[in-house]
């Protein structure tokens, strides 16, 4: 199995603070990885580095064998945890924008997803509720036939029904030639989608492994393990 | 890059429409002020010279607004959430910056042509004004010098703005702070760059005083004034070189040192 | 579909399929749902379903034909054996729990028979 993401000794420092310290991990092709940890643990920084939006301080990062840059952006579909669309854009225009710049954008799938999410092309992003904006952005990200999907808290702001719709879309979207990295606080709802999980704390990997393996060895759910790992950490 | 330019232009449609309509309205308003005075050309002449200058001033204002919007939206992209969209596109830094430079050039050309059109329209409607302007038309518009000067102005403005883009970008690469700490820093960077370039130019001038060079950018920027300006070739050249350097460094920073 | 996240999901999926075979919902020679279909049905990672299918194949309950799908293998005999095996597991759990409540073998058997007779109506 080839590795879609290979990270070795990755460190990211800002003036006065360290966001990531000596991170080493791999994501095989066709796998879904759960990136778990409390706020400030470095999940978002790690995802942004993979998406080519933040530059590493040291260490090596390879996405599909390439250093994050223009070529990887063409095969990586990133969903940030904030709304990254212009408010004056309509849903359809956002789709057109994506289609214009990303060759892997599948218009047909976009229309199908919009129908599932009960969104129409004419709605302006600025007029949508938080949950609907989230669904619109997810539709855009999933409509790309990318090699790597990076989703930062995709379930925030979604009601339970919408969450199920998104999880269904996730499974339906699954292909053996792509991989997914997603971070979430709602571990219980999503844990049965993870092939691999990585627990981050303060920019370091405190635990990593295959989800099923961890369940077997510890006789606990990933959520239980989460509580165990971070139990000593006070609420931030 | 041109795809991005198209989108940015489309986003500015409303601004351009409002701006151009306002300019037209202003021009016509100025013109109506002395349509009544047409019977006595001699009387209208002393009043009217300030009018084209004021029109030119309005056009400069329009240009300033468009340029400020240009750099402010860039800063917003850099510091805000929409940056995830723009900088996540499979485009090189040079293309992202280049699209903004193209917008700047379009705005500059629009202002120059618009300004000239306004003045000509006014001259046509106010005979006294036409008499005043005619000698300048001869000395300016119809000479190659004027167009070279416009090109020089374009080059200097674009270079100056590129240095500003550099300042904003550089500030952002040092910190991932969402606060506009970086803006303050970038303003400092710009001031430092301009001051040191002026010093450098001065130093070169004194060192090479045998050759009569005029290098200090600030002392020799050609302005659209009422006096014919001797076109100093070297100083805008130094500025343009700085601009090109700023472009290269900014593109590199965008590709390798960005921290959104 | 309810799964216990504390135990590996693929074993639970295997259990699910074995049950279906045992009660005849899935007949010998019948095709199993595709990995993707089952994953969408029970809402889990398709890789987990894949792993379950592979393990089932290793244990001999199913066989995969390339390009055609996964089919229930075996015969009437193997299905009966499977049914018995599953039943035995249930009984063992029942007996163990009753024993922990300190019931003796006769009472355990009597209660089971009584309840079985009742529910049959």
Q: Is B88 on the interface with A (CB under 8 A)?
A: yes
In whole numbers, what is the pLDDT of chain B averaged over residues? Answer: 76
- Chain A positions touching C7 (Cβ under 8 A) are 215-216, 219
Q: How far is residue A43's CA from residue A41's CA, in Å, rounded to a whole number?
A: 6
**C37: which residues sit within 8 A by CB, 6+ positions away?**
none
Domain map (residue ranges) of chain A:
3-181+194-230
Quick: pLDDT tens for B223-247. 444 444 443 444 677 778 888 999 9
Beta bridge partners of residue A197, listed in sequence order: A34, A209
Q: Which CATH superfamily is domain A3-181+194-230 in?
A: P-loop containing nucleotide triphosphate hydrolases (3.40.50.300)
User: Can you give C25-82 as a three-state secondary structure string?
Assistant: CCCCCCECCCHHHHHHHHCCCHHHHHHHHHHHHHHCCEEEECCCEEEECCCHHHHHHH
Task: Determine contact, residues A54/A48, Cβ cutoff 8 Å.
Answer: yes
Choose among A16, A86, A21, A82: nearest CA to A53: A82
Facing C5 at nearest CB: one of A172, A174, A191: A191
Higher pLDDT, B189 or B139: B189
B88:A78 CB<8 A: yes
Tally C-beta pairs within 8 A across A and C: 57
The pLDDT of residue B74 is above 60: yes
Q: Is B210 on the interface with A (CB under 8 A)?
A: no
Task: Determine contact, residues A27/A33, Cβ cutoff 8 Å.
Answer: yes
Q: Is A30 on the interface with C (CB under 8 A)?
A: yes
Q: How confident is the model at residue B190 (pLDDT cuts 50, 70, 90)?
A: confident
Facing A55 at nearest CB: one of B7, B83, B256: B256
Q: Is B7 on the interface with A (CB under 8 A)?
A: yes
* pLDDT value at residue B201: 67
B88:A70 CB<8 A: no
* pLDDT value at residue B179: 58
Task: Determine contact, residues B246/B163, Cβ cutoff 8 Å.
Answer: yes
DSSP for C96-115 reads HHHHHTT--HHHHHHHHHHH
Task: Determine contact, residues A43/A152, Cβ cutoff 8 Å.
Answer: yes
> From its phi and psi, is residue A112 left (phi > 0), alpha (psi between -120 and 50) or beta?
alpha
Higher pLDDT, B232 or A57: A57
DSSP annotation of B151: H
For residues A31-58, give the mean pLDDT. 94
Q: Which residue of B has its CA nearest to A47?
A: B260
| Touch between chain C and chain A: 3 or more Cβ pairs under 8 Å | yes
Query: Which of A63, A70, A72 to mutate to probe the B interface, most B CBs <10 Å?
Result: A70
Q: Which residue of C has its CA nearest to A167?
A: C43
* pLDDT value at residue B217: 43
Chains that touch C (3 or more CB pairs under 8 A): A
C44:A193 CB<8 A: yes
Q: Would you state the structure tokens that stand for residue A60, as one six-digit string?
A: 């090596």
| Touch between chain C and chain B: 3 or more Cβ pairs under 8 Å | no
A53:B81 CB<8 A: no
Quote the minimal CA–CA distance from C74 to chain A in Å. Answer: 28
Interface of A with C in 177-206 (CB under 8 A): 188, 191-195
**C39: which residues sit within 8 A by CB, 6+ positions away?**
A171, A174, C45, C46, C48, C49
The pLDDT of residue B138 is above 80: no
Chains that touch B (3 or more CB pairs under 8 A): A
Quick: pLDDT tens for C15-70. 999 999 988 888 888 999 999 899 988 889 999 999 999 999 999 899 998 888 89
DSSP annotation of A208: E
Q: How confident is the model at residue B143 (pLDDT cuts 50, 70, 90)?
A: low
The pLDDT of residue B196 is above 70: yes
Q: Is C8 on the interface with A (CB under 8 A)?
A: yes
Quick: pLDDT tens for A153-209. 998 878 888 888 888 888 887 888 999 999 998 898 899 999 999 999 999 999 999
Task: Determine contact, residues B169/B254, Cβ cutoff 8 Å.
Answer: yes
Rounded percentage of chain A residues whose pLDDT exceeds 90: 75
Report the relative pairing of strands A3-14 and A17-28 from DSSP bridges.
Answer: antiparallel
Facing B81 at nearest CB: one of A69, A82, A88: A82
* pLDDT value at residue B115: 85
Quick: pLDDT tens for B77-120. 888 888 999 999 999 999 999 999 999 999 998 998 888 888 77
B89:A73 CB<8 A: yes
Choose among B173, B200, B199, B193: nearest CA to B259: B173
The pLDDT of residue B185 is above 70: no
Please state the pTM of the whole predicted model.
0.85
Q: Would you state the structure tokens that stand for residue C35, as one six-digit string?
A: 């990995």
Q: Which residue of C has its CA nearest to A211?
A: C8
């Amino acid at each position: 199995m080839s590795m879609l993401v290979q990270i070795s000794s990755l460190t990211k420092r800002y003036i006065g603070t360290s966001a990531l310290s000596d991170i080493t991990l791999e994501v095989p092709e066709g796998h879904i990885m759960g990136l778990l940890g409390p706020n400030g643990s470095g999940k978002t920084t790690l995802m942004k580095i993979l998406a080519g939006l933040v530059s590493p301080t040291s260490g090596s990062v390879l996405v599909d064998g390439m250093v994050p840059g223009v070529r990887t952006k063409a095969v990586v579909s990133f969903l940030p945890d904030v709304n990254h669309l212009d408010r004056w854009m309509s849903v359809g225009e956002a789709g057109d924008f994506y289609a214009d710049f990303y060759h892997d954008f599948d218009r047909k799938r976009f229309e199908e997803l919009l129908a599932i999410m009960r969104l129409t092309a004419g709605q302006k992003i600025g007029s949508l509720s938080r949950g609907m904006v989230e669904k619109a952005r997810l539709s855009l990200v999933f409509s790309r036939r990318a090699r790597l999907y990076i989703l930062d808290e995709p379930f925030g702001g979604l009601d339970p029904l919408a969450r199920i719709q998104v999880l269904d879309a996730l499974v339906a979207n699954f292909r053996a030639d792509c991989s997914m990295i997603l971070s979430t606080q709602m571990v219980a709802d999503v844990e049965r989608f993870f092939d691999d999980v990585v627990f981050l704390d303060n920019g370091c990997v405190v635990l990593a492994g295959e989800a099923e393996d961890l369940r077997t060895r510890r006789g606990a759910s990933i959520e239980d393990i989460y509580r165990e790992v971070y139990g000593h950490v006070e609420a931030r | 890059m041109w795809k991005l330019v198209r989108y940015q232009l489309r986003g500015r449609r409303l601004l351009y429409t409002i701006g151009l309509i306002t300019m037209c309205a202003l021009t016509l308003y100025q013109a109506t002020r002395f349509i009544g005075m047409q019977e006595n050309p001699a009387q209208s002449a002393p009043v009217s010279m300030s009018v084209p200058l004021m029109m030119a001033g309005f056009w400069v204002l329009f240009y300033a607004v468009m340029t400020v919007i240009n750099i402010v939206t860039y800063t917003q992209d850099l510091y805000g959430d929409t940056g995830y969209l723009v900088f996540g596109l499979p485009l090189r830094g040079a293309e992202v910056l280049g699209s903004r430079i193209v917008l700047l050039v379009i705005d500059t050309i629009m202002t120059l042509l618009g300004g000239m059109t306004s003045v000509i329209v006014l001259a046509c409607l106010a005979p006294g004004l036409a008499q005043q302007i005619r000698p300048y038309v001869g000395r300016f518009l119809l000479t190659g010098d004027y167009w070279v000067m416009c090109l020089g102005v374009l080059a200097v403005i674009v270079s100056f703005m590129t240095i500003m883009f550099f300042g904003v970008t550089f500030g952002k690469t040092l910190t991932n702070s969402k606060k506009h700490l970086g803006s303050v820093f970038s303003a400092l960077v710009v001031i430092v760059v301009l001051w040191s370039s002026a010093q450098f130019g001065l130093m070169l001038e004194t060192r090479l005083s045998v050759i009569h060079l005029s290098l200090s950018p600030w002392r020799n920027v050609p302005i659209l004034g009422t006096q014919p300006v001797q076109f100093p070739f070297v100083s805008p050249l130094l500025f343009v070189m700085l601009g090109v350097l700023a472009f290269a460094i900014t593109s590199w920073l965008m590709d390798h040192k960005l921290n959104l | 579909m309810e799964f216990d996240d504390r135990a590996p999901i693929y074993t639970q999926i295997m259990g699910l399929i074995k049950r279906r075979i045992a009660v005849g919902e899935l007949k010998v020679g019948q095709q199993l749902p595709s990995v993707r279909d089952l994953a969408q049905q029970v809402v889990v990672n398709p890789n987990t379903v894949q792993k379950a299918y592979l393990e089932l194949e290793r244990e001999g309950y199913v066989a995969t034909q390339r390009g055609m799908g996964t089919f229930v293998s075996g015969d009437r005999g193997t299905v009966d054996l499977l049914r018995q095996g599953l039943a035995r597991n249930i009984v063992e759990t029942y007996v163990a729990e009753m024993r922990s409540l300190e019931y003796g073998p006769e009472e355990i058997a009597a209660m089971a028979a009584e309840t079985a007779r009742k529910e049959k109506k």
